[in-house]
Chains A and B, each alone.
Chain A
Amino acid sequence: MAEHYTSFSRDDTRWLLQRVTAVFLVGVLAFHFMLLHFVHHAYEITLAGTTARMSQPGYFITMVSFLIAGTFHGVNGVYNALVNQGIEGTPRTIVKYGLIIVSLLLIAQGIRVAWAMTGGQLI
């Protein structure tokens, strides 16, 4: 049982970035759940409340960082799992660029949404 279970090879930048984003995500994800379930109940969320939060620069930056870090960490995790499954050659290249495009779209849409949520009240 001497294995160290991980889907990554350790000398890899992706491995390191997975961990760096993980450390950041621990804090923001816990914060997000606390805020939107225990401080504000999920069923009471309204756009007015969301706008009040999102139009604070600190909160806005935190959420957009959360979006970017979460997307990177999640998609990188999926990619590494597939590489670990032995995906190679053309399929690997297709998956790689497919995932990159999907991530960029998610981030772009997330920022667009975050911006709409500020109701033009940021800055």
Chain B
Amino acid sequence: MPADRVGWHTVDSSQTTILAGSNPEVHMSQSYDRGLVENFGRWTEFSAGMWAWVFHKFTGWVLIGYLFTHIAVLSTAIEGASMYNGTLQGLEALLIVRFMEVGLLAVAVFHILNGVRLLFVDLGLGLDAQDKSFYASLILTGAIAVASIPTFLGGAF
């Protein structure tokens, strides 16, 4: 494993401020070897930042996968109204689809909130509150997903 990939980033001076307060071992221009994050066998050692990164990846992949499926389903519009309406209503009538939609909402909300958080981090804002803002993203995602259940399952029973 090349050294520069192991710690994700060789920490340069512009990045040392990030969460550095919580780790006295890390100084300017020093890389911190924490192993490959894809090595999920080490998940018990993950920090909040690594969880945020893993969840962001996971939700991103789900969203792009959904987009392909979504366009495929919507393509029934080309065949006309009865095909489109029948397909969409047939899908919505399945309880499993309704639950998957709640899951999709949760995935999208997390990716949006954590994505916005990442954008702020990139701008150098809120660097001291990265753990807190990550936990806030998680809690808000959960709350929004739960609150949307009645709307998403409406008429399904």
Cα(A17)–Cα(B52), bound, Å: 21
**Interface contact B84-A42, CB-CB below 8 Å:** no
CA distance A37 to B151 in the complex (A): 7
Main secondary structure of the interface of A (DSSP, over half): helix
Interface: A123 (CB within 8 A): no
- Docked Cα-Cα span, A23 to B89, in Å, equals 32
Bound-state Cα–Cα, A50 to B84, Å: 10
A66 to chain B, nearest CB (A): 10
- A47 to B84, Cβ gap below 8 A? yes
Give the chain A neighbours of B132 by CB distance below 8 A: none
A78 to B19, CA, bound (A): 26
A1 touches B22 (CB 8 A): yes
CA distance A29 to B104 in the complex (A): 12
| Complex CA–CA separation, A117 to B108 (angstroms) | 25
Q: Does B3 lie at the interface of the complex (its beta carbon under 8 Å from any beta carbon of A)?
A: no
The answer to whether B23 has its CB under 8 Å from any CB of chain A is yes
User: Hey, which chain B residues are within 8 Å of A47, CB to CB?
Assistant: 77, 80-81, 84-85
Q: Which of B32-75 contact A (CB under 8 A)?
A: 32, 34, 37-38, 47, 49-50, 52-53, 57, 60-61, 63-64, 67-68, 71, 74-75
Chain B residues in 8 Å Cβ range of A22: 115, 119
Assuming the contacts A2-B23, A7-B57, A106-B68, asked whether A43 and B89 have C-beta atoms less than 8 A apart, the reply is yes
**Binary contact readout B90-132 vs A (1 if CB under 8 angstroms, 0 otherwise):** 0011000000010001001000100110110110000000000
Interface residue ranges, A against B (CB under 8 Å): 1-7, 19, 22-23, 25-26, 29-30, 33, 37-38, 41-43, 45-48, 50, 67, 70-71, 74-75, 77-78, 81, 84-86, 106, 109-110, 112-113, 116-117
